[in-house]
Chains A and B, each alone.
Chain A
Amino acid sequence: MSIRERLSGNEAIATAMRQIDPDVFAAFPITPSTEIPQYFAQYVADGKVGTEYVTVESEHSSMSTCIGAAAAGARAVTATSSAGLAFMYEVLYVAASSRLPITLACVNRTLTGPININNDHSDSMGARDAGWLQIYAENNQEAYDNYLQAMRISEHPSVRLPIMICQDGFITSHAVENILLESDEDVKKFVGEYRPEHALVGRDHPLAVGPYDSCPFCMEHKVMQAEAMKNAKKVILDVAADFEKTFGRRYGFFEEYRMEDAEVALVLIGSTAGTAKACIEKLRARGVKAGLVKIRVFRPFPMEELARALQNVKAVAVMDKSEGYSGCGGPLFAETRSACYDLPSPPKMIDVVYGLAGRDCAVEDIEKVYRHLLKIVETGETGPRYIHFGQRSNQEEVL
């Protein structure tokens, strides 16, 4: 029986952590994820968890602490945002290549500079090639549910990769909303104990972690790591299926919203999906066949499945909440466009870079994007492929 509550996204993650009671929490605070270690410190002080709470001097050290703890065989977690995640980059790769299933709650915030504390996805998108699994949430409920599924995916013997559970900074992390929680007992039962096959602590299977890997072996290890990322797809779906059976809420690689007959569609990540759903209802009431694909799993990227979801759509706007500075569109656009390359008749596709550094995106803004897609369908002209949207500008507006 689920428990009806109201919590912010940060409280939801801290609650999931308390229920799971991990072995080690390496803590260094940064806005907007600060509340997670703050709430958790209270649980430690109140004796509600048995976790070793390690306060460190930087994010490089918090991730290094997680690496040491995970290598020893412990379940290790941390939380961070923005520049904190950037400061971890060197060791993010160490965690992934050492095949250590660490769970990181990433509360997405733009990367400096200029200095800004608000939401976009540039922090985790900057870490997209680090070898971590990445799962994103639309709201506090999904942040909680994704966190409950994280360790079973990450620790699975065919995966053994670290995982980032991402949510939108402030927009969901600091918004109090209704949520369904599960009981401590049910959560513990679902997540289960962590029993690593190999660990530094224990004499039966001695091993080294993080040694020099010479040329005759190193590429093989990197290929095995790439295979593990591919293996994660099956595990993600298996865990989601068990989650649905246990708690009744359904998850996949992405959520398709009103896609059954959609002619125009958005592909995007995170909290904007909810705003887009409200817009879709408004447009559908006027007969517009609008749909949405909300990406939940970005690493591994669900390439074939996404192509199938978009194969009958006439025009697609990928909405990137991070710039990427490639000169030709953001990271979600690159992946989505690549996914559709093998379709017999791929949809017309544009990239709309929006919401940078907390720029708000309302229902009316989403409607402009759909109107632009309808114009593309009507004229048959795709026009500019790479558009910025929502900024003040002297240029003529494309949307």
Chain B
Amino acid sequence: MNKTMTEIRWHGRGGQGAKTACLLLADAAFASGKHVQGFPEYGPERMGAPITAYNRISDLPCTIHSNIYNPNYVVVVDESLLHAVDVTAGLDPEGAIVINSPREPEELRPLLRGYTGKVCTIDARKISEQYLGRYFPNTPMLAAIVKVSGVLDPDRFIADMEASFHHKFATKPQVIEGNMSCLIESMKEVRGL
């Protein structure tokens, strides 16, 4: 396996947009010239059930088509999953976990089954409600993992996302500014770096 590859695992609940965030990250990495994979793990999904999604981001083509068992980074979109899912399973201690929570990283570490690596938190609810008026955690979580992992250049990422939002929200441009603020604020506010 080449050392230039970053593997990320997303844990969320059905309906929160973890799959969308995973695909947005793949888009952003693609725009910056990388080879990407973004894929969710499928089953009998329903709203609120735990779901998993994956990213591989690499300078070289990646041929592996399996799930990711030893990720460099884990993103937890819903804090309540810490009790239900072994989110740090196989996680690289040199990497990090990013959790959507208003709490401090060290408050959450006891829930992480002995994980010794970096723990980061971001209050995606606060940011989302402030700038979008509703709870869409995926945009702040996306920015947080880009910041924590350093997998993409932050300025390039922001520019690429703006272009992507202009395309995606062509019919409702009023939401672009809020989404951009979510990205920028989240990169500033992520704790535990």
Contact = CB atoms under 8 A, between A and B. Distances in A.
B38 interface: yes
Interface stretch (B59-67, B109-117, B130-138, B176-184): B59-67
Interface in B15-31: 23, 26-27, 30
B40 interface: yes
B116 to A, nearest CB: 23
Interface in A268-284: 271-275, 277-278, 282
B84 interface: no
Contact of A278 (B37, B42, B64): B64
A184 interface: no
B26 A139 contact: no
B37 A176 contact: yes
A362 B66 CA distance: 5
A178 B61 CA distance: 8
Interface in A349-379: 358, 360-363, 365
Contact of A282 (B1, B26, B36): B1
B65 A176 contact: no
A32 B42 contact: yes
Contacts of B44: 117
Contacts of A275: 63-66
A155 B64 CA distance: 34
B30 A175 contact: no
Interface in B21-57: 23, 26-27, 30, 35-40, 42-44
Contacts of B66: 275, 360-363, 365
B169 interface: no
B23 A172 contact: no
Q: Is the interface of B mostly helix, strand, loop or mixed?
A: loop
Contacts of A278: 1, 62-64
Contacts of A178: 30, 35-36, 61
A271 B65 contact: yes
A285 to B, nearest CB: 11
Nearest to A4: B30
A302 B106 CA distance: 60
B67 A360 contact: yes
Contact of B42 (A118, A176, A272, A363): A118
Contacts of A172: 65
A363 B1 contact: yes
A174 interface: yes
Nearest to A172: B65
Interface in A105-126: 117-118
Contacts of A171: 39, 65
A132 interface: no
A6 interface: yes
A273 B64 CA distance: 8
A155 B182 CA distance: 53
B45 to A, nearest CB: 10
Contacts of B62: 278
A368 to B, nearest CB: 13
Contacts of A145: none
B169 to A, nearest CB: 18
Contact of A168 (B38, B43, B65, B69): B65
A275 B66 CA distance: 7
Contacts of A282: 1
A333 interface: no
A177 B37 contact: yes
Closest 4 CB pairs of A and B: A274-B63, A175-B39, A271-B65, A362-B66
Interface of B: 1, 23, 26-27, 30, 35-40, 42-44, 61-67, 69
